[in-house]
Amino acid sequence: MAIIKVQKGTKDILPQEMPVWHFMEEKANEIFTKYGAKEIRTPIFEATELFARGVGDTTDIVNKEMYTFEKSERSLTLRPENTAGVVRSFIENGMHRLPAPVKLWYKGPMFRYERPQAGRQRQFHQVGVEVFGIKQPTADAEVILMAVNYLKALGLNDLTVELNSLGCPDCREEFKKHLKDVIRPYLPKLCEDCQTRFEKNPLRLLDCKSPECQEIYSKPEIQKVIQGDFICEECSNHFEELKGYLDTLGIKYERNKLLVRGLDYYNRTVFEIKSNNLGSQNAVCGGGRYDSLVKNLGGEDVPAIGFAMGMERLASLLGEKPEEKLKAFVISNNIQEAVKYTEELRSKGYTCEFDLANRKFVKQLEKASKVAKYAVILGEDELAANQVTVKNLETGKQETFNRNELILS
Protein backbone atom coordinates (compact mmCIF):
# COMPACT_ATOMS: atom_id res chain seq x y z
CA MET A 1 0.00 0.00 0.00
CA ALA A 2 1.36 3.43 -0.97
CA ILE A 3 2.51 5.76 1.80
CA ILE A 4 0.46 8.95 2.13
CA LYS A 5 2.89 11.84 2.29
CA VAL A 6 2.60 15.41 3.54
CA GLN A 7 1.09 17.77 0.95
CA LYS A 8 3.34 19.97 -1.18
CA GLY A 9 3.86 23.34 0.45
CA THR A 10 3.22 22.01 3.94
CA LYS A 11 5.55 20.39 6.45
CA ASP A 12 5.52 18.68 9.80
CA ILE A 13 7.06 20.59 12.67
CA LEU A 14 8.88 17.73 14.35
CA PRO A 15 9.59 17.32 18.08
CA GLN A 16 13.25 18.26 17.67
CA GLU A 17 12.18 21.50 15.98
CA MET A 18 9.68 22.47 18.67
CA PRO A 19 12.17 24.15 21.07
CA VAL A 20 12.75 27.00 18.60
CA TRP A 21 8.98 27.34 17.98
CA HIS A 22 8.27 27.44 21.71
CA PHE A 23 11.06 30.02 22.05
CA MET A 24 9.48 32.27 19.38
CA GLU A 25 6.02 31.94 20.93
CA GLU A 26 7.21 32.54 24.50
CA LYS A 27 9.20 35.62 23.45
CA ALA A 28 6.15 36.96 21.59
CA ASN A 29 4.04 36.67 24.71
CA GLU A 30 6.79 38.19 26.86
CA ILE A 31 7.63 41.17 24.63
CA PHE A 32 4.14 42.06 23.39
CA THR A 33 2.66 41.78 26.88
CA LYS A 34 5.20 44.36 28.07
CA TYR A 35 3.60 46.80 25.64
CA GLY A 36 0.10 46.05 26.89
CA ALA A 37 -0.95 43.82 23.99
CA LYS A 38 -3.43 41.03 24.65
CA GLU A 39 -3.45 37.76 22.71
CA ILE A 40 -6.37 37.05 20.38
CA ARG A 41 -7.17 33.83 18.50
CA THR A 42 -9.46 34.05 15.50
CA PRO A 43 -10.89 31.20 13.35
CA ILE A 44 -8.72 29.65 10.67
CA PHE A 45 -11.49 30.14 8.07
CA GLU A 46 -13.68 33.18 7.49
CA ALA A 47 -16.26 34.38 4.97
CA THR A 48 -14.52 34.86 1.61
CA GLU A 49 -16.00 38.36 1.42
CA LEU A 50 -13.91 39.40 4.42
CA PHE A 51 -10.68 38.97 2.48
CA ALA A 52 -12.08 40.28 -0.81
CA ARG A 53 -13.12 43.51 0.94
CA GLY A 54 -10.31 43.64 3.47
CA VAL A 55 -7.19 42.47 1.65
CA GLY A 56 -8.40 43.82 -1.70
CA ASP A 57 -9.65 42.20 -4.89
CA THR A 58 -6.68 43.57 -6.86
CA THR A 59 -4.10 41.67 -4.82
CA ASP A 60 -2.42 38.43 -5.84
CA ILE A 61 -3.61 36.95 -2.54
CA VAL A 62 -7.29 37.33 -3.41
CA ASN A 63 -6.92 36.71 -7.15
CA LYS A 64 -4.55 33.73 -7.11
CA GLU A 65 -3.61 32.44 -3.69
CA MET A 66 -6.67 31.86 -1.51
CA TYR A 67 -7.95 28.42 -0.53
CA THR A 68 -11.70 28.92 -0.98
CA PHE A 69 -14.43 26.32 -0.70
CA GLU A 70 -18.22 26.19 -0.73
CA LYS A 71 -20.15 24.80 2.23
CA SER A 72 -23.94 25.01 2.62
CA GLU A 73 -24.03 27.52 -0.25
CA ARG A 74 -21.60 29.80 1.60
CA SER A 75 -18.15 30.74 0.33
CA LEU A 76 -15.48 30.22 2.98
CA THR A 77 -11.73 30.83 2.81
CA LEU A 78 -8.79 29.62 4.85
CA ARG A 79 -7.21 32.79 6.15
CA PRO A 80 -4.31 34.01 3.94
CA GLU A 81 -3.39 36.63 6.56
CA ASN A 82 -4.83 37.62 9.93
CA THR A 83 -5.30 41.40 9.95
CA ALA A 84 -8.73 41.15 8.31
CA GLY A 85 -9.83 38.50 10.82
CA VAL A 86 -8.62 40.54 13.79
CA VAL A 87 -10.42 43.62 12.43
CA ARG A 88 -13.59 41.56 11.98
CA SER A 89 -13.34 40.43 15.61
CA PHE A 90 -12.61 44.00 16.75
CA ILE A 91 -15.83 45.18 15.10
CA GLU A 92 -18.02 42.21 16.01
CA ASN A 93 -17.04 42.26 19.68
CA GLY A 94 -17.43 46.01 20.15
CA MET A 95 -13.79 46.62 20.99
CA HIS A 96 -14.05 50.18 19.68
CA ARG A 97 -15.77 50.93 23.00
CA LEU A 98 -12.63 49.99 24.92
CA PRO A 99 -10.18 52.73 25.92
CA ALA A 100 -7.74 53.42 23.09
CA PRO A 101 -5.31 52.09 22.20
CA VAL A 102 -6.54 48.52 21.87
CA LYS A 103 -3.46 46.35 21.33
CA LEU A 104 -3.85 42.76 20.14
CA TRP A 105 -1.32 40.11 19.17
CA TYR A 106 -1.73 36.72 17.56
CA LYS A 107 0.09 33.65 16.31
CA GLY A 108 -1.08 30.83 14.10
CA PRO A 109 -1.27 29.19 10.67
CA MET A 110 -2.14 30.99 7.42
CA PHE A 111 -2.76 29.52 3.96
CA ARG A 112 -1.75 30.73 0.50
CA TYR A 113 -1.52 28.77 -2.72
CA GLU A 114 1.84 29.88 -4.08
CA ARG A 115 5.11 28.35 -5.22
CA PRO A 116 6.82 26.86 -2.15
CA GLN A 117 10.30 28.25 -1.50
CA ALA A 118 12.77 28.67 1.32
CA GLY A 119 10.98 30.09 4.35
CA ARG A 120 7.63 30.22 2.53
CA GLN A 121 5.05 27.44 2.44
CA ARG A 122 1.40 27.04 1.45
CA GLN A 123 0.59 26.53 5.09
CA PHE A 124 2.77 28.90 7.05
CA HIS A 125 2.67 30.57 10.44
CA GLN A 126 2.67 34.21 11.42
CA VAL A 127 3.05 36.16 14.62
CA GLY A 128 1.70 39.69 14.53
CA VAL A 129 0.40 42.77 16.34
CA GLU A 130 -2.52 45.11 15.59
CA VAL A 131 -3.02 48.44 17.41
CA PHE A 132 -6.35 50.28 17.11
CA GLY A 133 -7.53 53.76 17.99
CA ILE A 134 -4.48 56.03 17.66
CA LYS A 135 -4.00 58.16 14.55
CA GLN A 136 -0.86 59.92 15.79
CA PRO A 137 2.60 58.70 14.67
CA THR A 138 3.37 57.72 18.27
CA ALA A 139 1.51 54.48 17.50
CA ASP A 140 3.58 53.93 14.35
CA ALA A 141 6.79 54.37 16.33
CA GLU A 142 5.73 52.03 19.12
CA VAL A 143 4.62 49.31 16.71
CA ILE A 144 7.95 49.46 14.86
CA LEU A 145 9.78 49.47 18.22
CA MET A 146 7.75 46.45 19.34
CA ALA A 147 8.72 44.55 16.19
CA VAL A 148 12.40 45.46 16.48
CA ASN A 149 12.56 44.52 20.15
CA TYR A 150 10.85 41.19 19.50
CA LEU A 151 13.41 40.35 16.83
CA LYS A 152 16.23 41.41 19.14
CA ALA A 153 14.79 39.25 21.91
CA LEU A 154 15.08 36.33 19.50
CA GLY A 155 18.76 37.18 19.07
CA LEU A 156 18.44 38.80 15.63
CA ASN A 157 20.43 42.03 15.57
CA ASP A 158 21.66 42.42 11.99
CA LEU A 159 18.47 44.19 10.91
CA THR A 160 17.50 47.01 8.54
CA VAL A 161 14.25 48.97 8.95
CA GLU A 162 12.86 50.36 5.68
CA LEU A 163 10.15 53.03 5.76
CA ASN A 164 7.87 54.75 3.32
CA SER A 165 4.70 56.83 3.37
CA LEU A 166 1.95 56.01 0.91
CA GLY A 167 0.03 59.09 1.95
CA CYS A 168 -3.72 59.37 2.30
CA PRO A 169 -6.23 58.47 -0.47
CA ASP A 170 -6.19 62.03 -1.84
CA CYS A 171 -2.44 62.38 -2.28
CA ARG A 172 -2.15 58.78 -3.44
CA GLU A 173 -4.48 59.56 -6.36
CA GLU A 174 -2.13 62.30 -7.58
CA PHE A 175 0.83 59.94 -7.37
CA LYS A 176 -1.09 57.19 -9.21
CA LYS A 177 -1.98 59.61 -12.01
CA HIS A 178 1.65 60.68 -12.55
CA LEU A 179 2.87 57.09 -12.28
CA LYS A 180 0.40 55.84 -14.89
CA ASP A 181 1.23 58.71 -17.25
CA VAL A 182 4.95 57.93 -17.23
CA ILE A 183 4.57 54.13 -17.40
CA ARG A 184 1.83 54.05 -20.06
CA PRO A 185 4.25 54.06 -23.03
CA TYR A 186 5.86 50.88 -21.67
CA LEU A 187 2.59 49.10 -20.89
CA PRO A 188 2.82 46.47 -23.70
CA LYS A 189 6.23 45.38 -22.35
CA LEU A 190 5.04 44.82 -18.78
CA CYS A 191 4.20 41.39 -17.42
CA GLU A 192 0.58 40.23 -17.43
CA ASP A 193 0.16 40.96 -13.71
CA CYS A 194 1.46 44.50 -14.08
CA GLN A 195 -0.84 45.16 -17.02
CA THR A 196 -3.75 44.24 -14.76
CA ARG A 197 -2.38 46.28 -11.86
CA PHE A 198 -1.90 49.31 -14.13
CA GLU A 199 -5.65 49.93 -14.16
CA LYS A 200 -6.75 48.43 -10.85
CA ASN A 201 -3.94 49.42 -8.47
CA PRO A 202 -0.94 51.12 -10.11
CA LEU A 203 0.89 51.43 -6.78
CA ARG A 204 1.41 47.69 -6.79
CA LEU A 205 3.41 47.98 -9.99
CA LEU A 206 6.33 48.90 -7.76
CA ASP A 207 5.94 45.61 -5.88
CA CYS A 208 6.53 43.50 -8.99
CA LYS A 209 9.49 41.08 -8.77
CA SER A 210 9.80 40.52 -12.53
CA PRO A 211 13.33 41.53 -13.66
CA GLU A 212 11.96 42.86 -16.96
CA CYS A 213 9.43 45.10 -15.17
CA GLN A 214 12.02 46.23 -12.66
CA GLU A 215 14.29 47.24 -15.52
CA ILE A 216 11.51 49.39 -16.96
CA TYR A 217 10.72 50.96 -13.59
CA SER A 218 14.39 51.89 -13.14
CA LYS A 219 14.30 54.19 -16.19
CA PRO A 220 15.18 57.81 -15.25
CA GLU A 221 11.81 59.33 -16.16
CA ILE A 222 9.94 56.73 -14.09
CA GLN A 223 12.37 56.99 -11.19
CA LYS A 224 11.88 60.75 -11.19
CA VAL A 225 8.17 60.22 -10.47
CA ILE A 226 8.82 57.44 -7.95
CA GLN A 227 11.37 59.50 -6.07
CA GLY A 228 9.18 62.61 -6.20
CA ASP A 229 7.17 63.70 -3.18
CA PHE A 230 3.45 63.62 -3.77
CA ILE A 231 2.21 63.22 -0.21
CA CYS A 232 0.21 66.12 1.18
CA GLU A 233 1.37 68.38 4.01
CA GLU A 234 -0.57 66.52 6.70
CA CYS A 235 0.82 63.14 5.61
CA SER A 236 4.31 64.62 5.30
CA ASN A 237 4.11 65.99 8.85
CA HIS A 238 2.96 62.60 10.11
CA PHE A 239 5.94 60.93 8.43
CA GLU A 240 8.43 63.50 9.71
CA GLU A 241 7.12 63.12 13.26
CA LEU A 242 7.47 59.36 12.99
CA LYS A 243 11.09 59.67 11.89
CA GLY A 244 11.71 62.01 14.81
CA TYR A 245 10.35 59.45 17.28
CA LEU A 246 12.47 56.70 15.72
CA ASP A 247 15.54 58.92 16.01
CA THR A 248 14.74 59.50 19.68
CA LEU A 249 14.35 55.75 20.23
CA GLY A 250 17.64 55.03 18.49
CA ILE A 251 16.05 52.95 15.71
CA LYS A 252 18.02 53.20 12.50
CA TYR A 253 15.94 53.28 9.33
CA GLU A 254 16.15 53.89 5.61
CA ARG A 255 13.60 55.56 3.33
CA ASN A 256 12.55 53.26 0.49
CA LYS A 257 10.13 54.90 -1.91
CA LEU A 258 9.62 51.61 -3.75
CA LEU A 259 8.13 50.08 -0.62
CA VAL A 260 4.37 49.78 -1.12
CA ARG A 261 3.56 46.40 0.54
CA GLY A 262 1.32 43.87 -1.20
CA LEU A 263 -2.07 44.59 0.39
CA ASP A 264 -4.60 47.22 -0.65
CA TYR A 265 -5.55 48.41 2.82
CA TYR A 266 -2.32 50.25 3.68
CA ASN A 267 -2.08 54.04 3.91
CA ARG A 268 0.53 56.45 5.18
CA THR A 269 3.25 54.53 7.03
CA VAL A 270 4.46 51.22 5.60
CA PHE A 271 7.58 49.44 6.79
CA GLU A 272 9.63 46.29 6.42
CA ILE A 273 12.35 44.89 8.62
CA LYS A 274 14.99 42.93 6.78
CA SER A 275 17.64 40.52 7.95
CA ASN A 276 21.03 40.82 6.35
CA ASN A 277 21.52 37.08 6.98
CA LEU A 278 18.97 36.05 4.34
CA GLY A 279 19.22 36.11 0.57
CA SER A 280 16.96 38.02 -1.81
CA GLN A 281 13.85 37.06 0.19
CA ASN A 282 15.20 38.89 3.23
CA ALA A 283 12.13 40.55 4.76
CA VAL A 284 11.28 39.11 8.19
CA CYS A 285 8.58 41.63 9.12
CA GLY A 286 6.13 43.79 7.21
CA GLY A 287 3.45 46.18 8.30
CA GLY A 288 1.89 49.59 8.17
CA ARG A 289 -1.16 51.75 8.74
CA TYR A 290 -4.64 50.77 7.59
CA ASP A 291 -6.78 53.64 8.88
CA SER A 292 -9.79 52.93 6.64
CA LEU A 293 -10.02 49.15 7.04
CA VAL A 294 -12.22 49.06 10.16
CA LYS A 295 -14.76 51.35 8.49
CA ASN A 296 -14.54 49.47 5.17
CA LEU A 297 -15.47 46.26 6.98
CA GLY A 298 -18.54 47.82 8.59
CA GLY A 299 -17.13 49.26 11.81
CA GLU A 300 -16.59 52.72 13.21
CA ASP A 301 -13.96 55.06 11.76
CA VAL A 302 -11.03 53.73 13.81
CA PRO A 303 -7.37 54.22 12.79
CA ALA A 304 -5.06 51.21 13.08
CA ILE A 305 -1.54 49.98 12.45
CA GLY A 306 0.11 46.57 12.69
CA PHE A 307 2.70 44.10 11.47
CA ALA A 308 3.17 40.39 10.82
CA MET A 309 6.19 38.09 10.72
CA GLY A 310 6.60 34.72 9.06
CA MET A 311 7.63 32.24 11.73
CA GLU A 312 9.18 29.72 9.31
CA ARG A 313 11.51 32.45 8.10
CA LEU A 314 12.39 33.40 11.66
CA ALA A 315 13.02 29.75 12.51
CA SER A 316 15.43 29.45 9.57
CA LEU A 317 17.46 32.32 11.03
CA LEU A 318 17.44 31.01 14.57
CA GLY A 319 18.50 27.46 13.74
CA GLU A 320 17.94 24.52 16.04
CA LYS A 321 17.80 24.85 19.80
CA PRO A 322 18.73 21.87 21.98
CA GLU A 323 15.85 19.92 23.43
CA GLU A 324 15.55 20.38 27.17
CA LYS A 325 16.23 17.18 29.06
CA LEU A 326 13.93 15.64 31.62
CA LYS A 327 14.73 16.55 35.19
CA ALA A 328 14.69 12.91 36.30
CA PHE A 329 14.46 9.34 35.08
CA VAL A 330 13.39 6.78 37.67
CA ILE A 331 15.33 3.52 37.48
CA SER A 332 13.93 0.45 39.18
CA ASN A 333 13.11 -3.17 38.44
CA ASN A 334 10.12 -2.85 40.75
CA ILE A 335 7.75 -1.50 38.14
CA GLN A 336 4.97 -0.67 40.62
CA GLU A 337 7.30 1.44 42.75
CA ALA A 338 8.74 3.10 39.63
CA VAL A 339 5.25 4.08 38.46
CA LYS A 340 4.33 5.37 41.90
CA TYR A 341 7.49 7.40 42.53
CA THR A 342 7.58 8.85 39.00
CA GLU A 343 4.10 10.24 39.58
CA GLU A 344 5.17 11.63 42.98
CA LEU A 345 7.99 13.55 41.29
CA ARG A 346 5.66 14.81 38.56
CA SER A 347 3.23 16.06 41.22
CA LYS A 348 6.11 18.14 42.64
CA GLY A 349 6.57 19.80 39.24
CA TYR A 350 9.48 17.78 37.87
CA THR A 351 9.56 16.43 34.32
CA CYS A 352 10.05 12.74 34.83
CA GLU A 353 9.82 9.33 33.15
CA PHE A 354 10.48 5.69 33.94
CA ASP A 355 11.16 2.70 31.71
CA LEU A 356 7.80 1.53 30.41
CA ALA A 357 9.38 -1.64 29.04
CA ASN A 358 10.93 -2.51 32.45
CA ARG A 359 14.27 -3.47 30.92
CA LYS A 360 17.40 -4.44 32.82
CA PHE A 361 19.05 -1.90 35.13
CA VAL A 362 21.95 -1.16 32.75
CA LYS A 363 19.59 -0.49 29.82
CA GLN A 364 17.51 1.83 31.99
CA LEU A 365 20.62 3.76 32.99
CA GLU A 366 21.68 4.06 29.34
CA LYS A 367 18.26 5.53 28.48
CA ALA A 368 18.41 7.90 31.45
CA SER A 369 21.82 9.24 30.39
CA LYS A 370 20.36 10.27 27.01
CA VAL A 371 17.17 11.97 28.15
CA ALA A 372 17.54 13.22 31.75
CA LYS A 373 19.69 15.29 34.08
CA TYR A 374 19.33 12.92 37.02
CA ALA A 375 18.87 9.18 37.42
CA VAL A 376 16.73 8.46 40.48
CA ILE A 377 17.46 4.88 41.53
CA LEU A 378 15.02 2.73 43.47
CA GLY A 379 16.87 -0.53 44.10
CA GLU A 380 16.05 -3.15 46.72
CA ASP A 381 18.23 -1.44 49.34
CA GLU A 382 16.66 1.96 48.68
CA LEU A 383 13.14 0.57 48.85
CA ALA A 384 13.88 -1.17 52.15
CA ALA A 385 15.27 2.04 53.67
CA ASN A 386 12.65 4.36 52.14
CA GLN A 387 15.45 6.15 50.29
CA VAL A 388 16.50 7.02 46.72
CA THR A 389 19.94 7.24 45.17
CA VAL A 390 20.33 10.21 42.82
CA LYS A 391 23.01 10.21 40.16
CA ASN A 392 23.91 13.47 38.43
CA LEU A 393 24.26 12.27 34.84
CA GLU A 394 26.44 15.23 33.88
CA THR A 395 29.03 14.94 36.68
CA GLY A 396 28.59 11.30 37.73
CA LYS A 397 28.19 12.28 41.40
CA GLN A 398 25.81 10.13 43.47
CA GLU A 399 23.95 10.97 46.70
CA THR A 400 21.33 9.23 48.82
CA PHE A 401 18.22 11.01 50.09
CA ASN A 402 15.11 10.24 52.07
CA ARG A 403 12.52 9.27 49.49
CA ASN A 404 9.96 11.87 50.66
CA GLU A 405 12.47 14.72 50.96
CA LEU A 406 14.13 14.68 47.54
CA ILE A 407 14.68 18.09 45.99
CA LEU A 408 16.33 18.35 42.56
CA SER A 409 18.11 21.55 41.59
Superfamily name with CATH number, domain 326-405: Anticodon-binding domain (3.40.50.800)
So what's the pLDDT on residue 161? 94
Count CA atoms within 13 Å of residue 112 on its CB side. Answer: 23
Burial of 153 (0-12, 13-18, 19+ CB in 10 A): middle
Residue 169 confidence (pLDDT): 80
Output the pLDDT for position 278: 65
Q: How many helices (H) and strands (E) does the chain have?
A: 15, 16
What is the structure's pLDDT at 3? Answer: 93
DSSP track, 104-158: EEEEEEEE--S--BTTB-SEEEEEEEEEES--SHHHHHHHHHHHHHHHHHTT---
What pLDDT, on a 0 to 100 scale, did the predictor assign at position 192? Answer: 80
- Phi, psi angle pair for 333, to nearest 5°: -90, 0
pLDDT value, residue 208: 76
The pLDDT score that the predictor gives to residue 211 is 84
The domain segmentation of the chain, as residue ranges, is 15-168+249-318, 169-230, 326-405
* Spatial CB neighbours of 95, under 8 Å, sequence gap ≥ 6: 89, 102, 132
Domains 15-168+249-318 and 326-405 share a fold: no
Q: Counting every residue, how long is the chain? A: 409
pLDDT mean by block of 10 residues, the chain; 409 residues: 90 93 96 97 94 71 79 90 96 96 97 74 95 97 97 92 89 79 82 79 76 82 77 91 95 87 78 78 88 93 96 90 92 94 95 94 94 95 93 94 90
Q: What class, spelled out in words, does domain 15-168+249-318 have in CATH?
A: alpha beta
